[in-house]
Chains A and B, each alone.
Chain A
């Protein structure tokens, strides 16, 4: 049995809107096991992105305990949290969020600037990561010179490069056609299966969710169900 990589206990989060607190998440508790590939589904506005942001350490809960990758991240100061993210979290965004002025290789290298690595080593690793996502021949292309699917593959290489514990993806295929989306989903499956990364993916698309091991449903900020996909292992 695997230790949980993510453990939430009584997590609540609300946003202020016009001086009034609007609750988004109310008293959430669950765990995600190491090595899992979890899809998070739910209607628009149900709090999926909010939940993912909390787990990824880019937002803070109002209350509750949040342990991710062995760290109670609610207790970390801002700078410690940034360090922690650099070590443990790989981000994949719906709109790729690459630096437009950097080449594919430089974009992938970016997170390594936070590690003390020689330039040659950084370059080599970035090249390897891009080769792994099938872009060995696009190293010097700028994002604008790549298709959406290719850009998302660069983003995946960037998410991988620092060898994080977990990968969070907020609608990674939301802006892609079916074919490119399938490439991305297969890549995420590979990261999960071959590299053992825990993957949490928010999606609207049942087809995309079908690539995960398990699907968790969120409704109005509460967990409304969790099911295993096909023969994939369910989570605790």
Chain B
């Protein structure tokens, strides 16, 4: 019966509660989307494998490393496998059609990235065709790429026109695998660029090194030591650290998004607190009556907390429920800008926590006020 009292009180002013619940739903939804955006930002780092190191030029990523380093790195104790990867940076039709392209040493690359799942015949077709490329399922869906299509790119880092043939469409082995990339043969790129600009022959963007995760620090140091005082010193770090290096360049934006997401919650808290204060003020006589009948201040406060939490929970649950479909639409609309746009369990947990915190905090002062209401004065407030 107490639950009935709380619940019916919560929905006594239908319009007011509807507006509050709507506000909460929208706020929780906005919070969820924003925090999914932040997650998407870090998705590359999150999906990074602890069993991979990235070796790059110590001065800057813009500078390449000699291909000759490959065998030297492979010889370092603890290195299990190695591949090369180059950021290609080509433009597909228009600059706004951005998606990552990598020129790689295909066979070893697919060995090191088992999360890029390919059918066997597509894999063979890709490895056989020097102009072949594979594209992620999401990328394929965005631009309608099909096996056999020719994708023309305008080179930027590697100047000139380029054409690649889609030989396979890879799927993600894990939910957070980036399936919006395009991968093709470095051999082909290297050969072509050597003809166009001879001095750029045999240059590699980064080496990706497979290791035993427990030996990450040790092997990194060993690789960098190998090239100390050479013409091209290296910097080796875990794949995650490497990815975070990109994200940190845009950290300020992420911080801004985080702040906005909590501001949204703060605003809805203010709205909710106002609703509860108004409600409690209107019901002063009822709370005074309950106290006259012998109910303690704790009971009265509990009614108000219960009511506020009930409203917050309804808004929160609706907001969380709305987050999934809206995130899907949002993620699709963002295309390959956010290769992975998934609502994480942490986000849902935070949404729930925020809703309940809003419910609790909004009730704090009104509950205190109602619990302390003077019976005689409260009863006199009857209209």
- Which of A28-36, A103-111, A210-218 faces chain B? A103-111
Neighbouring A residues of B2 by C-beta, 8 Å: 113
- Kindly supply a per-residue 1/0 record for chain A positions 48-84, scoring 1 wherever the CB is within 8 Å of any chain B CB and 0 otherwise: 0000010010110000000000000000000100110
Q: Decide: A101 and B379 in contact? CB cutoff 8 A.
A: no
A229 contacts B by Cβ under 8 Å: no
Sort chain B's interface into a size bin.
20 to 34
Question: Interface majority SS on A: helix, strand, loop or mixed?
Answer: helix
Q: Decide: B286 and A97 in contact? CB cutoff 8 A.
A: yes
Neighbouring B residues of A131 by C-beta, 8 Å: none
Partner pick for B289 among A56, A79, A97, A109, CB 8 A cutoff = A97
B279 contacts A by Cβ under 8 Å: no
Partner pick for A114 among B286, B294, B376, CB 8 A cutoff = B294
Partner pick for A91 among B5, B286, B293, CB 8 A cutoff = B293
Q: How far is the CA of A106 from the CA of B292 in the complex (A)?
A: 17
Neighbouring B residues of A102 by C-beta, 8 Å: 1, 4-5, 8
Q: Decide: B291 and A82 in contact? CB cutoff 8 A.
A: yes
Q: Kindly name the residue among A58, A91, A119 whose own CB sees the greatest number of chain B CB atoms within 10 A.
A: A58
Within B264-293, which residues are at the interface with A (CB < 8 Å)?
A: 285-286, 289-293
Q: Kindly name the residue among B292, B296, B382 whose own CB sees the greatest number of chain A CB atoms within 10 A.
A: B292
Q: How far is the CA of A71 from the CA of B9 in the complex (A)?
A: 36
Q: How far is the CB of B280 from chain A (nearest CB, A)?
A: 15
Within B293-342, which residues are at the interface with A (CB < 8 Å)?
A: 293-296
Q: How far is the CA of A93 from the CA of B375 in the complex (A)?
A: 13
- The total of chain A residues at the interface (CB under 8 A) is 27
Partner pick for B292 among A58, A79, A87, CB 8 A cutoff = A58
- Kindly supply a per-residue 1/0 record for chain B positions 1-35, scoring 1 wherever the CB is within 8 Å of any chain A CB and 0 otherwise: 11011001100100000000000000000000000
Q: Decide: B382 and A95 in contact? CB cutoff 8 A.
A: yes
- Kindly supply a per-residue 1/0 record for chain A positions 145-177, scoring 1 wherever the CB is within 8 Å of any chain B CB and 0 otherwise: 000000000000010000000000000000000
Neighbouring A residues of B382 by C-beta, 8 Å: 93-95, 97
Within B227-250, which residues are at the interface with A (CB < 8 Å)?
A: none
Neighbouring B residues of A59 by C-beta, 8 Å: 375-376
| Contacts between chains A and B (CB distance < 8 A), count | 65
Q: Decide: B294 and A83 in contact? CB cutoff 8 A.
A: yes
Q: Kindly name the residue among B4, B285, B379 whose own CB sees the greatest number of chain A CB atoms within 10 A.
A: B379
Q: How far is the CB of A95 from chain B (nearest CB, A)?
A: 5
A86 contacts B by Cβ under 8 Å: yes
Partner pick for A101 among B9, B289, B295, B296, CB 8 A cutoff = B9
Q: Decide: A97 and B1 in contact? CB cutoff 8 A.
A: no
Q: Decide: A97 and B285 in contact? CB cutoff 8 A.
A: yes
Question: Interface majority SS on B: helix, strand, loop or mixed?
Answer: helix
Q: Decide: B295 and A82 in contact? CB cutoff 8 A.
A: yes
Q: Decide: B289 and A85 in contact? CB cutoff 8 A.
A: no
Partner pick for A85 among B4, B285, B294, B383, CB 8 A cutoff = B294
Neighbouring A residues of B293 by C-beta, 8 Å: 85-86, 91, 110-111, 114, 158
Q: Decide: B5 and A101 in contact? CB cutoff 8 A.
A: yes
Q: How far is the CB of A223 from chain B (nearest CB, A)?
A: 21
Partner pick for B286 among A94, A99, A106, CB 8 A cutoff = A99
Q: Decide: B12 and A100 in contact? CB cutoff 8 A.
A: yes
Neighbouring B residues of A110 by C-beta, 8 Å: 290, 293
Given contacts A97-B285, A101-B12, A109-B1, are A82 and B379 in contact (CB under 8 A)?
Answer: no
Neighbouring A residues of B12 by C-beta, 8 Å: 100-101
Given contacts A58-B375, A95-B382, are A86 and B294 in contact (CB under 8 A)?
Answer: yes
Q: Decide: B294 and A97 in contact? CB cutoff 8 A.
A: no
- Which A residue's beta carbon lies closest to that of B378? A58
Q: How far is the CA of A56 from the CA of B291 in the complex (A)?
A: 12
Q: How far is the CA of A99 from the CA of B4 in the complex (A)?
A: 12
Q: Decide: B376 and A58 in contact? CB cutoff 8 A.
A: yes
- Which B residue's beta carbon lies closest to that of A88? B294
Q: How far is the CA of A102 from the CA of B379 in the complex (A)?
A: 19
Neighbouring A residues of B296 by C-beta, 8 Å: 79, 82
Given contacts A58-B375, A93-B289, A93-B379, are A106 and B294 in contact (CB under 8 A)?
Answer: no
Q: Kindly name the residue among B9, B291, B295, B383 whose own CB sees the greatest number of chain A CB atoms within 10 A.
A: B295
Q: How far is the CA of A109 from the CA of B293 in the complex (A)?
A: 12
Q: Kindly name the residue among B291, B296, B376 whose own CB sees the greatest number of chain A CB atoms within 10 A.
A: B376
Partner pick for A99 among B5, B292, B379, B383, CB 8 A cutoff = B5
- Kindly supply a per-residue 1/0 record for chain A positions 105-149, scoring 1 wherever the CB is within 8 Å of any chain B CB and 0 otherwise: 010011101100001000000000000000000000000000000
Q: How far is the CA of A110 from the CA of B335 in the complex (A)?
A: 58
Neighbouring A residues of B289 by C-beta, 8 Å: 91, 93, 97, 99
Q: How far is the CB of A145 from chain B (nearest CB, A)?
A: 14
Q: How far is the CB of B321 from chain A (nearest CB, A)?
A: 27
Neighbouring B residues of A101 by C-beta, 8 Å: 5, 8-9, 12
Q: Interface residues, chain A, CB within 8 Å of chain B?
A: 53, 56, 58-59, 79, 82-83, 85-87, 91, 93-95, 97, 99-102, 106, 109-111, 113-114, 119, 158
Task: List 18 A-B pairs, Cβ < 8 Å.
Answer: A56-B292, A58-B292, A82-B296, A85-B292, A85-B294, A91-B292, A93-B379, A93-B382, A97-B285, A99-B289, A101-B8, A101-B9, A102-B1, A110-B293, A111-B293, A113-B1, A114-B293, A114-B295
Since A106-B4, A110-B290 are in contact, a sample of 9 more A-B pairs with Cβ atoms closer than 8 Å, ordered by chain A residue number, is: A82-B291, A82-B295, A85-B292, A94-B382, A101-B5, A101-B8, A102-B8, A111-B294, A158-B293
